[in-house]
Structure 1
Amino acid sequence: MVNIGHYIEIAIEWLVEECAGFFNVLNVCVEGFINSFQLVLYTIPVYIFIPLAVLLAWWKSDKSMGLFTLLGLLLILGMGFWEETMQTLALVLSSTCMALLIGIPLGIWTGKNERCNRILRPILDCMQSMPAFVYLIPAVLFFGLGTVPGAFATVIFAMPPVVRLTGVGIRQLSETAMEAARAFGATPRQLFFKVQLPLALPTILIGINQTIMMSLSMVVVSAMISAGGLGEVVLKGITQMKIGLGFEGGIAVVILAIILDRVTQGIAQKR
Structure 2
Amino acid sequence: MIRIGKYIEQFINWLTHNFGPLFHAIKQMVEVMVNGVEGLLDIVPAYILIVLLAVLAWRRAGLSIGIFALLGLGLIYGMGYWPQTMETLALILVSAFIALLIGIPFGIWAARNKLVAKIMRPVLDLMQTMPAFVYLIPAVLFFGLGKVPGVFATIIFAMPPAVRLTTLGLQGVPKDIVEATRSFGATRAQLLFKVELPLALPTILAGVNQTIMMALSMVVISAMIAAGGLGEIVLKGITQLRIGIGFEGGIAVVILAIILDRITQSFGKKKAGK
Q: TM-score, normalised by structure 2?
A: 0.98
| 1:181 Cα deviation from its structure 2 partner | 1.7
Greater Cα shift, 152-161 or 171-180: 171-180
Q: Deviations over 1:224-268 (max 9, x none)?
A: 000000000000000111000000000000000000000000111
SS at match of 2:15: helix
Runs of 4+ in 1 over 4 A off after TM superposition: none
The equivalent of 2:161 in structure 1 is: 161
Cα distance in 1 for partners of 2:163, 2:76 equals: 33
Matched ranges for 1:192-271 at <5 A = 192-271=192-271
Unaligned runs of 5+ in 2: none
Q: Deviations over 1:48-89 (max 9, x none)?
A: 111110111011111000000000000000000000000000
SS at match of 1:227: coil
Percent identical pairs in the alignment equals 62
Q: Deviations over 1:108-145 (max 9, x none)?
A: 00011111000000000000000000000010011000
Q: Does 1:82 align with 2:78?
A: no
The equivalent of 1:70 in structure 2 is: 70
| 1:202 Cα deviation from its structure 2 partner | 0.5
The equivalent of 1:124 in structure 2 is: 124
* Counterpart residue type for residue 141 of structure 2: L
**Count of paired positions:** 271
* Counterpart residue type for residue 109 of structure 1: W
SS at match of 2:228: coil
| 1:205 Cα deviation from its structure 2 partner | 0.2
Matched ranges for 1:88-107 at <5 A = 88-107=88-107
The equivalent of 2:38 in structure 1 is: 38
Cα distance in 1 for partners of 2:69, 2:80 equals: 17
| 1:182 Cα deviation from its structure 2 partner | 2.3
Q: CA RMSD in A?
A: 0.7
Cα distance in 2 for partners of 1:238, 1:79 equals: 18
Q: TM-score, normalised by structure 1?
A: 0.99
Unaligned runs of 5+ in 1: none
Cα distance in 1 for partners of 2:65, 2:185 equals: 45
Matched ranges for 1:102-113 at <5 A = 102-113=102-113
| 1:16 Cα deviation from its structure 2 partner | 1.1
The equivalent of 1:47 in structure 2 is: 47
* Counterpart residue type for residue 200 of structure 2: A
| 1:47 Cα deviation from its structure 2 partner | 2.1
Cα distance in 2 for partners of 1:232, 1:47 equals: 23
Cα distance in 2 for partners of 1:252, 1:112 equals: 41
| 1:183 Cα deviation from its structure 2 partner | 3.0
Cα distance in 1 for partners of 2:162, 2:188 equals: 23
The equivalent of 2:15 in structure 1 is: 15
SS at match of 1:228: coil
Q: Deviations over 1:30-54 (max 9, x none)?
A: 1111111111111111121111101
Cα distance in 2 for partners of 1:191, 1:14 equals: 43
Cα distance in 2 for partners of 1:188, 1:224 equals: 46
* Counterpart residue type for residue 225 of structure 1: I
